[in-house]
Structure 1
Amino acid sequence: MHAHWQATANTKGFDIIKRIRDRYHLALRCHACAHVHASRIYTLVSAQPQCPACLLGRLERDARAAGLTHLRRDPAHRHYSFYRAACGHQLRRQHEIIRRVAAGTTELRCESCHAAIEAAEARRRGWMQTGPDPEGDPNYRIYTHADGCGVLQRIARANMQTGRFTCATCGEAWVASGSFLYAMAFTLANGRELVKLGYSRDPTSRLLHQLRMDRDIPCEFLRVVPMATGQLAIRTEKALHVRLRHAHPDAVVDPASYRDQIRVRSENYDAALTPQILSMLDDIEKKAAAA
């Protein structure tokens, strides 16, 4: 047992207990926790030995700070461990990623929960998620038209979320499928209130995923009127805008005032026109019901 080994071990936070196994290994006792572990002599003199008990303690503290439970280290990769998430699922993650989650610099996603969310998104649209994109694009999935013709189709997940797609086999073109006229109310950051008149096959998707640039902007539907076809909806909407702009040119709002809050270049009016716009939509709905 060389004296300089003991001196080196002491400077690195350990005491040498004895030689073990063979002529290449030592038993080291940690100054911090008193845990004894086996270490190669070469590791002691050329690097910083790691106390397994202290390392495990750090992993467990990092896991708790990240909202996880450390289960065990990955025997196949020393930089990875298995964790239990708050949802109950088991995750395999790199130790550095968990430290970042604990520090709040990144987020953690459970693959099992995320898969369930994507499956629910598809079911709401009448589809079933079948698998990943065969072309390897992480933004696309393969879906089955479960409530329709049963065809397999490659669809962007964002489009599945917003409903902005149609079945390539049995889907109707937008001009032939049902649509809606709508009136929406917006309150800008400066407090000004607007009313928007428009049409869409899916008004909710239009509002939540297209129009709102500022997710905190107050907004609500004032009226939604079903139309038999998209072609009828756009024709009726254009006629309404012609009437409004002709009768109330001063009520047309300058797009510059809502450029960073609403993603549209026109079709917004001062809220003072709300009663008239709702009355026009009432008339259209009554005529459609009488037809």
Structure 2
Amino acid sequence: MKSYIPVLSIAGSDSSGGAGIQADLKTFSALGCYGMTVITATTAQNTMGVKGIHGIPIDHIEAQLDAILSDIPPKAIKIGMLDRPEVVELLASKLKGLEIPIVFDPVMVATSGDRLIQEETIESIKEKLFPIVSLITPNLDETEILCGFKVQSLSDMKKAAAFLQFYIPNSVLIKGGHLETEVIQDLLVMKEGDEVMYENAKIESSNVHGTGCSLSSAIAAELAKGSDLQLAVTKARNYIYQAILLGKSVKTGQGNGPLNHFFNPQNQIIHEVE
């Protein structure tokens, strides 16, 4: 029997198409996977900022998730914006015990600087969701919110990773794109404690809306395709670098534009299953 490679995004919707589930679906598709979604919230936003957030009723989030898991079991899951503690608690109960990679991008602040999460949700995430995910991918702003201290250097990133692994039995990828350095430095700390430092040149571009969403989705897609974590992060970062590079001169909206997700789309992967 032949099958696609299904990957699930549990996240918020971005009405402008640059981030959230829209970016996730574009990323899954560009990397040859079959994308599915559970929408946790809708946002009214564009390249200039977030105008409003509407949480999807909990019972409907649960219905979406049950429908997917009972019919098209994903090979990996990406989790994005969770705006309420109730959503965190639902996912913690539903996803616990699943033996597939779960990549969590703890979306808290939009590229525009708008806050996307309730304060009381943060502790719920740390206590209930972090223990069951395979990898979290916070940027520096999100890392500071999670840790409660400033993260402004590579040594701070290492300190933060150690702090976060108190809650997370698996791996942490801290994205250092906002560091005042000549190159972008991302730090991956594996569940065994091994550290991997990734570096690439900075690209001057205002078209970076949805970068974090797309990176975590790319990692989930590569894990679903069979890569180990270090290779999945390497492939995902290369994809994002090219998507930024080849989209930097394209004008979309008046603010922070999207990446070029389809700069080199892969054919849909079809493989044999038992």
TM-score when scaled to structure 1? 0.18
Rg larger for: 1
Q: Which has the higher strand share?
A: 1
TM-score when scaled to structure 2? 0.19
